[in-house]
Amino acid sequence: MVSVCHSVVRAPSVRVTRLDACGAPVVGACSTATSESFVDITLTKVLQERQEALQLNGNGDICVDKPKAPILRWYEVNLQFCNVDPELLNILTDDPLVLDDSLTPQAVGFRTRRGTIATNNFALEFWVGTEDEECDDGETVYGYGLLPWMYQGYITDLTFGNQVTTFTVNAITKFGTPWGTGPYNVLINQSGVNAGLPGPLLTAMTADDVKHFQWTTLPPPDGQCGCVALPAELDATPLAGVVPQMVTVTFPTNLAGEPLLPAVIDWDDATPNTVVTSGVDTTHNFTLAGTYDITYTLTGESGPTYTVQAIFT
């Protein structure tokens, strides 16, 4: 077995995902957010201390010496941010959003409310840079970390004054995650039919796993203010009809309205994938009847696979 080693420097991005009470990613609006405005992340193990089992005999020699190993209870995590993103903080803490009265209401703040510490659940992903990140065959290497189930998040004490004010969120990890391989692509496959393409974790997180870390060459997502929805649905028309049929796929966009590129489209009809690096949409002609699961996978950064189904007769 060959080991891959790197030195860790800097931390370019984090992504948080809202979870339900059972630890599964929430399907719906404002369920995930990314940020580049955090200062640092501190992870501290909280252990049940080693239990001694020592008994001496009448001569003062050891008769029994069998200590029980420490037991991991959780990780305590502190995330420090230098920017205020109300929607991201809402995912982290469940503190209610404060909206303005514009025609399309905007989140302009948040409230601290009793009881929210007991109700919030989220997943945390983070990326770190490497000292020699440009030296592996010209590819940039990142460290990817995952805490698949966190809860009891709250904003710690704040100090306002003649200084930069930062916001620190404290939370702890929880066992029993149903995260599996996750809803996002976080690596580049090295072999198999998807070699060279982004994919999710190669093995599922188990109920006993609270932290995951690995090297990856798939860049982290760009930070942006606000949140977006899961699952990731692809806009395409028409989605049904009689073959031959032309389908137009409209590329997903970020919160600023810019297309998310580059990407690769798998039409699920045995034709070559379409690589897109510019534009806002593309078309494809289906010539055989059938049900097709069209996927749109970002190749320039970590993200979900956007999907849509087309049925032709």
pLDDT confidence of residue 232: 84
3 state SS of 91: helix
pLDDT confidence of residue 94: 96
pLDDT confidence of residue 161: 76
Q: Distance (Å, rounded) from C-alpha 111 to C-alpha 303?
A: 30
Q: Distance (Å, rounded) from C-alpha 269 to C-alpha 273?
A: 10
The Cα-based distances of 277 to 146, 274, 289 in angstroms read: 29, 10, 29
For the chain, state the CA radius of gyration.
23
Helix and strand counts by DSSP (H, E) for the chain = 1, 23
pLDDT confidence of residue 116: 94
pLDDT confidence of residue 256: 86
pLDDT confidence of residue 231: 85
Tell me how far the alpha carbon of residue 60 is from its chain's centroid.
56
Return the number of other C-beta atoms located less than 10 Å from residue 242's C-beta: 8
Return the number of other C-beta atoms located less than 10 Å from residue 71's C-beta: 10
DSSP classification of residue 7: -
pLDDT confidence of residue 166: 86
One pLDDT digit (tens) per residue for the chain, 313 residues:
777 777 666 778 999 999 999 999 999 999 999 998 878 899 999 999 988 888 888 888 989 888 899 999 999 999 999 888 999 999 999 999 999 999 999 999 999 999 999 999 999 999 998 876 555 566 889 999 999 999 999 999 887 777 777 889 999 999 999 999 999 999 999 999 889 999 999 999 999 999 999 999 999 999 999 999 998 889 999 899 999 999 999 999 988 889 999 999 999 999 999 999 999 999 999 999 999 999 999 999 999 999 999 999 9
pLDDT confidence of residue 133: 52
Q: At CB < 8 A and 24+ separation, what contacts does 21-25 make?
A: 21/121, 22/178, 23/121, 23/148, 23/149, 23/174, 23/176, 23/177, 23/178, 23/179, 24/178, 25/123, 25/179, 25/183, 25/230
Give the residue from 308, 306, 305, 283 showing the smallest Cα distance to 293. Answer: 308
Q: What domains lie within the chain, and their CATH numbers?
A: 8-229 (no CATH), 232-312 (2.60.40.10)
